[in-house]
Structure 1
Amino acid sequence: MTLPHLFDSHLHTPLCGHATGQPREYAQAALEYGLAGICFTDHSPMPAWYDAPWRMKRAQLGEYVQVVQDVQQEFAGRLDVRLGLEADFHPGTEGYVREVLAEYPWDYVIGSVHYLGAWGFDNPEFKGEYDQRDLTDLYREYYALVEGAARSELFDSIGHLDLPKKFGHADPDGMAALHALDVIAAHGLALDFNTAGWRKPINEAYPAPDLVRAAASRGIPFVLGSDAHAPAEVGYHFADAVKEIHDVGGVVVRFEGRERVG
C-alpha cells in the first residue's frame, strides 16, 4: 500500500516500558508501508507518583529526544521523522507538564486522559471497575477532564477521544461528548484519529463514527495515529481511517513545530 501524503503521528518507543521494537524499526515499517512521515509521541514524563510504570522517566527525556534525532538523520531524504509527545492531562499536574514541554522543540503534543481519579480506566488489569460504575456518570466525568485538557492550552490535539469504550463499555448518552467537541472546537484543537481502537475489544476507532461526523461538522481536523506499540502496528488501517474521515467531509492534518500543516 502507498499512502504518500500521510503521516502516522502517534507512535511509542520502548522507553515507555510497554512497547517493543526500536524506533528505527518503526520508521522502516512506515517507509515500507508507503507513508510520507511519522511523529514519535511517546508517553511524557509525569510526577513520580503518577502512572510510573507506563511512561519514560524525566531523566530519560533527553535520551528519547536523541533517539528520535538519530532516526531523523538515518532516514533523511526518505522519511520525514518528527518529535512529539503524548502528554497526560491530570488536574494538578499542569505545571509539571508545562515544564516538560518547554525543554525541547516538539513538533506535536497529544493531550490524553488516562485516569479518572486514581483509576487507570484503560488498563486491562483494572477493567473490572467498570462493573461498579454508572456509565453515564463515568463519561460525564471523563469528558469534563477532556474539556479541561482542551482549555489548558498545553496540547495540539486530544488523544483517543472516547477511550473509555475500549473494553466494550460504550457511552449510553453522548451529550457530554458533544459538549466536549464544542470546547475542543472553540480552542482550536485537532483530534487524534486513533486506529488502535480497531485492535481493541470495542473494534472501533477512536472517535466513534458519530463523533467523527460531529467533529467534522464543527470544523475540527483529524491527525492520523496508529498508537503503535510495535513496528507492525504502524499505519494500521489508515486507508479505512481516511475514508471514514473524508466520507463526512473531515480534514486530515499533521503538525510541525506545534503548527498545523495541511
Structure 2
Amino acid sequence: MNAAFFDNHMHTPLCKHATGTPLEYAKAALDAGLRGVTFTDHMPMPAWYDADWRMRRDQLDTYVAMVREAQEAFRGRLDVRLGLEADFHPGTERWLEEVLSAHPWDYVIGSVHYIGAWGFDNPEFKDEYDRRDLDSLYRHYYVLVEGAARSGFFDAVGHLDLPKKFGHRDTNGSAALRALDTVATMDVALDFNTAGWRKDVAEAYPAPNLVLEAAARNIPFVLGSDAHRPEEVGHRFEDARASLSEAGAAIVTFRGRERQHG
C-alpha cells in the first residue's frame, strides 16, 4: 500500500459497537504500510441522544488517553492523531461547543445519522425506509448536511450519501448537488469513506457521480475506512485513490484542525 496514506476515520470499543484497542488499530495500520491514522470515535452526546452507540461524556478523557498511549507507543513509526466523529443534530450546538473545546483535536468529522428521531443508518430501524418517500427523505437529509457544513464546527462532512447504506439510492440528486454547493462555499472537506464497500449498497461514500461533482467544485477529500475492527484499517485505499485520481480530486489530512495536503 502507498506509504503516503492516512486512515482518518477509525473507532474504538468506547462507542459500544467496535472491537480492538487503539494500539491494535495502530499496529494494523503499520502492518498495512500506512503513514498515519486519525482516531475519530463517536463523540459523546446528551444522554437522550443515541446513547447505545457512542461513548459517555465521562469517558471522553479515557478516549483521549487511549489515543495518546498509541501516539507514544508508535512514535517515530506511525503518525497517530486525535479526532472525533461528531453528530450534527439541530439543538445540540451548545453541547458540541463544550465537547469540541475540551481537548485539542486534530480533525473533526461532522456526520448526520438521524433525521428527526430516526437513526436511519441503524440496521434495527431500516424497515422505516419502506414507509418513507425517498425523494423527501433525501431532501430532508441534505438540508441537515448543509446545516452541518454551515455550522463551522467540522473539518469534513462524513459519508455524504449515507442513506444509501441499505440500497435505497437517491434517484433525484438535486438536493445532493445543493449540499455540495454549500460544502464548497463553506470550504469544508468530504470524508471519502470506504466502509460503503462493506455495506449492502457495495459502494463507497460518496457515489462516483458525487465525487466528480465535488471535484468540479474543488472540494478535497479525507480518506477513511470507518474501521470498527483493526482488520478494516485502510480498507480498499488503493481503490479509493484510483477513484479520486480519476475524478481529479485532492486528498488531504488534518492536524490541529488545519488542512494538510498529501
TM-score, L = length of structure 2: 0.99
Task: For residue 188 of structure 1, report the CA deviation from its aligned partner.
Answer: 0.5
Aligned twin of 1:245: 244
In structure 1, how many angstroms separate the alpha carbons of the residues matched to 2:9 and 2:241? 15
Aligned twin of 1:6: 5
Q: Which runs of 4+ in 1 moved over 4 A?
A: none
Deviation sequence 1:43-95 (CA, Å, 0-9, x none): 00101100000000000000000000000000000000000000000000011
Q: Summarize the alignment of residues 1-262 of structure 1 with structure 2, pairs less than 5 Å apart.
A: 2-262=1-261
SS in 1 for 2:211: helix
Task: For residue 149 of structure 1, report the CA deviation from its aligned partner.
Answer: 0.2
Task: For residue 106 of structure 1, report the CA deviation from its aligned partner.
Answer: 0.1
Task: For residue 101 of structure 1, report the CA deviation from its aligned partner.
Answer: 0.2
In structure 2, how many angstroms separate the alpha carbons of the residues matched to 1:151 and 1:251? 21
Task: For residue 229 of structure 1, report the CA deviation from its aligned partner.
Answer: 0.2
In structure 1, how many angstroms separate the alpha carbons of the residues matched to 2:243 and 2:6? 16
Task: For residue 172 of structure 1, report the CA deviation from its aligned partner.
Answer: 1.3
Deviation sequence 1:177-203 (CA, Å, 0-9, x none): 000000000000000000000000000
SS in 1 for 2:37: strand
SS in 1 for 2:96: helix
In structure 1, how many angstroms separate the alpha carbons of the residues matched to 2:146 and 2:98? 21
- Identical pairs, percent: 67
SS in 1 for 2:35: strand
Unaligned stretches of 5+ in structure 1? none
Unaligned stretches of 5+ in structure 2? none
Query: What is the RMSD computed on CA atoms of the aligned residues?
Result: 0.4
SS in 2 for 1:254: strand
In structure 1, how many angstroms separate the alpha carbons of the residues matched to 2:231 and 2:4? 20
SS in 2 for 1:5: coil
